[in-house]
Amino acid sequence: MGYANRPLVVGEIMSSEPRRLSIYSDGTDHQYSQFVSPLLTHLERTKDVLIHTSTYLVFIAMVQVATVMAALSIEPNPALAIIGLVTFAVYMGDRIADVDTDEVSNPGQSSFVRRHESVLSVLTAAAYGLAIAISVLGGPVALGVTLIPGAFWVLYASDWLPTIGSYFKRLKEILVVNSVIVALAWAISLVFLPLAFADAAFTPVAAVIFFYYFLDTFVNTEIPNVNDVEADEAIGVSTLPVVFGVDRTRQIAYGLDIVLVGFVVFAYLRGLLGSILTLAILVGLGYALVLAAFVGRTEHESRLGIAGEAKHLVVMAVILALTAGGF
């Protein structure tokens, strides 16, 4: 069999020769291949690293904290760094843990993680360790909030305390509860960390921001589940798409985003949110509604997930634009 294929291989190599010669005959092409191609390869590789290591999520999470700080008029504080470090540790840690299951759904990422597993493992541990050390500066509340992801790791580990571990593992499988836990943990971290460092009280404005991030994260957690219907079904995890189907999930996403629009407008009318922030969030929600329309209707579901996360960049961009514009 191997020998039968040989002439074909030789033929391919020979046919490629004249093409290579023509490239060398053209100086522009040569320069292009010498400078632009490596640059593009480099950029491509950087993009892969940013996506595979969840570094883009780190940036988005920090933008979310910055939004909270702007909304609550809190000076920039170490909460920004902590959220960044914890996000990296949690998401990268998950990718290391799921490297086997990701092999089918996301082979590029899986092979990247496998290649650099030991370095990434130490980096995530160091990131979380550093986050904990910094959080001590903010006092017991900041430390407690920073420890939330760690607490979940411990609770989910069924070999640690078998009864509690399996009980919490089951929580992951229950409809809505799983996403509510993620959304709650995320909203607590985003709002309470900056407050703890600023030694500020939990005001009604903070409550509004908290609810906004809670519901928003809930929607953003359920939408990527559209991709994993079969896998989730196989392992017995109940998600909105598994129980209600993709179309109904899209409608629920619309509904929740519209609820958020109403809630934000209500908060604005009650004087809890400023006009710049309200407008920015509404633009963000508009963007989210457009994206929701693509749920289950695109072949690029993973890009849809990233686009969903990027909503927070849209909100920040609007805030910066409006502030710079003197509104």
Partner 1 sequence: MATAISLVPLLFISIAIGSAATILAWRARPEPGSKPLVALLVAQSWWSTCIIFKLRAPALDAKLLWANLAWIGVVAIPVAWFLFALEYTGRDEYLRPRYVGALSVVPVLTVIFALTGQYHDLLYVRPTGAELNGVVLFEQGGPWFWITAAYTYILGVFGMIPILGLLTSDAVAFRGQSAALVVGLLAPWVTNVLFLAGLLPTSGVDPTPIAFSVSGIVYLAALTQFRLLGTSPAPNKRARQFLFDRMQGGAIVVDANDYVVDMNDSSVRILGIDATDVLGGPANEIIPEYDRLPEDGALPGHLTIGDELGGHPYDVTSTRITNVRGTPIGRVITFHDVGEHLRQQQRLEVLNRVLRHNIRTETNVIYGYVSRFEDDENAKTVKERALRIEEIGKKGRKAIELFDKTRDRTEPKSLHSLLDRCIESTRDSYPKATIERSQPNEDVAVAGLLRQVFSNAIENAVEHNPSDTPHVWVTVEMEGDTVYVEVADDGPGIAEYELAVLEDGTETPLKHGSGLGLWIVKWGTDIAGGEVRFTENDPEGSVVTIEVPVLSRDAQVVASERSD
* 133 part of the interface to partner 1, by CB under 8 A: yes
Q: Contact with partner 1 (CB under 8 A): which of 70, 79, 92, 132?
A: 132
Assess contact for 208 and 90: CB atoms under 8 A. no
Closer Cβ to partner 1, 39 or 97, answer by number: 97
H helices of 203-239, in order, are: 204-222, 229-234
Closer Cβ to partner 1, 156 or 254, answer by number: 156
| Rounded distance between C-alpha atoms, residue 223 and residue 228, angstroms | 10
* 246 part of the interface to partner 1, by CB under 8 A: no
* 143 part of the interface to partner 1, by CB under 8 A: yes
Closer Cβ to partner 1, 30 or 169, answer by number: 169
CA neighbours closer than 13 Å in the CB half-sphere of residue 64: 29
* 281 part of the interface to partner 1, by CB under 8 A: no
What is the amino acid identity at position 176?
A: V
Q: Which two tokens stand for residue 265?
A: 């407008």
Closer Cβ to partner 1, 89 or 252, answer by number: 89
Assess contact for 72 and 206: CB atoms under 8 A. yes
Q: Contact with partner 1 (CB under 8 A): which of 11, 108, 129, 204?
A: 129
Assess contact for 123 and 91: CB atoms under 8 A. no
Q: Contact with partner 1 (CB under 8 A): which of 136, 258, 290, 321?
A: 136
Residues 82-101 that bind partner 1 (CB under 8 A): 89
Residues 159-178 that bind partner 1 (CB under 8 A): 159-160
Question: In angstroms, what is the minimal distance from the CB of 110 to partner 1?
Answer: 18
Q: Contact with partner 1 (CB under 8 A): which of 88, 112, 128, 213?
A: 128
Residues 98-127 that bind partner 1 (CB under 8 A): 118, 121-122, 124-126
Q: Contact with partner 1 (CB under 8 A): which of 51, 130, 215, 317?
A: 130
Assess contact for 115 and 98: CB atoms under 8 A. no
Residue 159 has φ and ψ, to the nearest 5°, of -85, -10
| Rounded distance between C-alpha atoms, residue 83 and residue 177, angstroms | 23
Assess contact for 51 and 109: CB atoms under 8 A. yes
Orientation of helix 311-324 relative to helix 55-71, angle to 10°: 40
Q: Contact with partner 1 (CB under 8 A): which of 38, 140, 204, 236?
A: 140
| Rounded distance between C-alpha atoms, residue 241 and residue 249, angstroms | 6
Site string for partner 1, 187-216 (x = CB under 8 A): ------------------------------
Q: Which two tokens stand for residue 89?
A: 């540790």
Interacting residues toward partner 1 by CB under 8 A: 89, 118, 121-122, 124-126, 128-130, 132-134, 136-137, 139-140, 143, 150, 153, 157, 159-160
